[in-house]
Structure 1
């Protein structure tokens, strides 16, 4: 039995990039949050599939199924930080947004986010975070692969955004800000959630054909610059993101990195319909950013001041896929703020149990 335990420990060390004979640390403690209503309501079955993988890693696991909006934010805001090493979200990106904002609302937020990592097991519609992690690790884009990477224990830093609106609303984002066609596709397709990722493709096709126009002002500060650039006028799309992949087939920002201290800001002011449709038919290569009508900037901050499109359809702003007030919005990048499980070089392994023992 002792020999079997040593072999099991050696295998876990090998998977994590640690020396085979490394001292056994206490088990890592995972708090698993499950959103039963995410995506196509498949989170329960996803958890049944992935739970054995995490158990095999020797982790101690506690599970909470969320029951109402912002439940995960409430949990993150009040949990005992001495009893949790990582929060794993079996959901789409919405639950992760809640967890991040719950952690950042704490009086001890700076300490907690340095000691509690976040992991994503995909069970939603888009699953942008888990997709970006799995693509970066060159693993298949599925829940079992996500759980396997989390079990290995590798981690990297992830930039965070501070979001402040004129009118008083503020919070944090880990993924994106969308306006015009971008938010129309994300939020306008909510009624088609049952379709999974297909909802985005079909709604995008319609919006590319209709090509609604919005008026507003976009200001941004490039990485390394002191001053701000200003663009005013007509926009077809503004889409700022914090990572490469939005869906399995959409590499929206090919120059993005998890912790490069910048947001990738893409915007379109004018483009021919056929040209846009041609480029957007395949976003997996990232070549759409080379189109002459696509502006692509690496920025440390940006501010969007949208104007009302029509009284009935004024427009929408989405932060991490969630509807926010239609108001002037400032985004500031907070470099390398969060710890993200599932990706990282062997030399950069962070063993949370050792670090906090």
Structure 2
């Protein structure tokens, strides 16, 4: 583990150093740190011991930094020394509540560092505080802190930096923020903790990264869908669904009810913050990009927002007898759909509702009569299928950083050069004051033909396969009989603990269709359900042919409508009857860690 960290530090040492400064630990004047900043990250070199110790903070783990100033202390006087580290309070310079007696400028660097303690892989929040007090004027110390901040910010934004231009940054070059996020929050998702989760877990990280955002809180079903259909969404660069998979389903389908749907998909990126019961997409993203998910599922998703790495994501066009909709997660008929819909009354239990209802449905097992057809992959596509991944963990860097590292420069250093501009615009900190918190106050205007309201038109890509009402093409595989379930997924996970299709990728253009025939025994079904948590069901061979998982490009389900049952799309209940789906590779874009 340590070898990996040393190798990274060696790589950083070989990378061009952009900035370098000597600092001291506030409580230990003899503890000397040489801090080097390069394009790879921040390296802290402790030279106070016989053996030089290096610690690396990768630029990929840093999310933001702010220049701050010490806060005015009550009953303070000029002769008082600075308070102990644990009691230092800082404020933005514009607050007017700063301590004029302290000439120091503080650079707070926020990082979420990967820790690997055996099976416990997680990210720890760490604050590196660099206290600049080398000069005898606050303005000069602030300019030096600002120089470091500007370089870090540019590195985080992926901008190219020439070392010869760095000294110009002392003039406080304005940092442009070209992002603005829109959060659509469902306060009733999961166990109803969405609003509190957003304020406690998401907002602090956005503030550390200085990302501006607006918030809309939904008040009724399909509000997010209506909002995306009618609003001027181009004022935002990213639309973030806060809730379960259902609210992102609303968001995407609102986009496809716009004539300019393609422009929206080209200009706007989507993201999800999990606070629902299933959270299949959020779990999929964390899994595919080897990011720790438990025990803090919102952390990986929120870090993805501020790091703004974008990946294409497949979208599936779904057609029923009366509707066309677009799906990003799954569609199903039978057992899993029964569990999803019938366990709604246990929503207050969160994800445990699925486990309890799975046992109930296993005892009262049902089967359904119908016909299942699918378009298989051709031979070339079969050969290109990804192999089962054996990777179970992330990069095992094991860095032991405390929660906070506070270092300071030497006091009152004589200024050696005129690197600074006379003009000094103080505080480059972007306040969240510009963010909007808004709840909808309109009445429920969900489209419903029975109530006389108009059903919106659906746009999006046209079908590339035979219509739902047309005969099944000859190159499709057709199965007819009785089924316990048929479930299609285009993501690896259907829920936090349901690894449904281990070989699925966000942008592989493949639907994974699971077919469970009625001849499957309860013992086989129990083994199958238990295997969903690890993906074991996808690797075990079923000699009886009762359970099969097949990759395909499109499928059609035609249930016997004289029976009663459930069909779901992305966990949403749709009409019981014929349904057909086909995949469009990489049609949308999603933020990933």
- TM-score greater than 0.5 by the shorter chain: yes
Structure ranking higher on relative contact order (CA contacts 8 Å, 6+ apart): 1
Distance 1:75 1:216, change over 3 A: same
1:74-85, aligned counterparts within 5 Å? 74-85=226-237
> Does the CA contact (< 8 Å) of 1:159 and 1:242 recur in 2?
yes
Q: State the match for 1:301 in structure 2.
A: 554
Gapped regions of structure 1 (runs ≥ 5): 344-357
Corresponding position: 1:275 with 2:427 = no
Shift of 1:81: 3.5
Pairwise CA distance, 1:285: 2.1
Q: TM-score, normalised by structure 2?
A: 0.55
Partner of 1:193: 347
Q: Which residue of 1 aligns with 2:267?
A: 115
Q: 1:327 maps to which residue?
A: 577
Q: Give 1:147 shift.
A: 0.3
Q: CA deviation digits over 1:72-127, x for unaligned, max 9?
A: 01111122243110001111111000000001111110111111111111111111
Counterpart secondary structure, 1:172? strand
SS in 2 for 1:120: strand
Quote the Cα distance in structure 2 between the aligned partners of 1:91 and 1:126. Answer: 10
Q: For the structure 1 residues 3 and 83, does the alpha-carbon distance in structure 2 shift closer, same or farther, using more than 3 Å as the test?
A: farther
Distance between the aligned counterparts of 1:8 and 1:202, measured in 2? 51
Contact 2:515 / 2:548 at 8 angstroms: preserved in 1? yes
Q: Is residue 175–residue 242 contact of structure 1 (8 Å, CA) maintained in 2?
A: yes
Query: Of residues 534, 543, 546 in structure 2, which corresponds to 1:285?
Result: 534
Q: CA deviation at 1:160?
A: 0.3
Matched, 1:21 2:164: no
Q: Which runs of 5+ in 2 are unaligned?
A: 1-141, 163-172, 380-473
Contact 1:153–1:341 (CA under 8 A) maintained in structure 2: yes
Higher helix share: 1
245 and 9 in structure 1: CA distance in 2 versus 1, 3 angstrom threshold: farther
Determine the structure 2 residue equivalent to 1:89: 241
Q: Mark the CA change 1:130 to 1:2 in structure 2 (over 3 Å): closer, same or farther.
A: farther
Question: Which of 266, 276, 282 is the equivalent residue of 1:124?
Answer: 276
Deviation at 1:25, TM superposition (A): 4.8
CA distance in 2, matches of 1:11, 1:224: 48
Q: Can you list the C-alpha shifts for 1:259-302, whole angstroms capped at 9, x where unaligned?
A: 10111111110311112212322423211122413211111111
Aligned equivalent of 2:22: none
The whole-number CA distance in structure 2 between the counterparts of 1:146 and 1:35 is 16
Please give the residue correspondences for 1:1-40 in structure 2 after superposition, counting only pairs within 5 Å: 1=142, 3-12=144-153, 14=155, 18=158, 21=161, 25-40=176-191
Aligned to 2:565: 315
1:169 and 1:132 map into 2 onto residues whose CA distance is: 27
- Measured in 1, the distance between the counterparts of 2:515 and 2:500 equals 11
1:70 paired to 2:222: yes
Q: 2:258 aligns with which of 106, 111, 119?
A: 106
Q: 1:274 to 1:72 in 2, by over 3 A?
A: same
| 1:355 corresponding residue in structure 2 | none
Residue in structure 2 matched with residue 149 of structure 1 by the alignment = 304
2:340 paired with 1:181: no
1:39 deviation in Å?
0.9
What do the CA deviations read for 1:297-341 (whole angstroms, capped 9, x no partner)? 11111111011464xxx0010011111001111101111011001
Contact 2:561 2:577 in 1 (8 A): no
Helix, strand or coil at the partner of 2:475: coil
8 A Cα contact 1:12 1:152, kept in partner: no
Looking at CA atoms only, which structure, 1 or 2, has the larger radius of gyration?
2
CA distance in 1, matches of 2:541, 2:485: 14
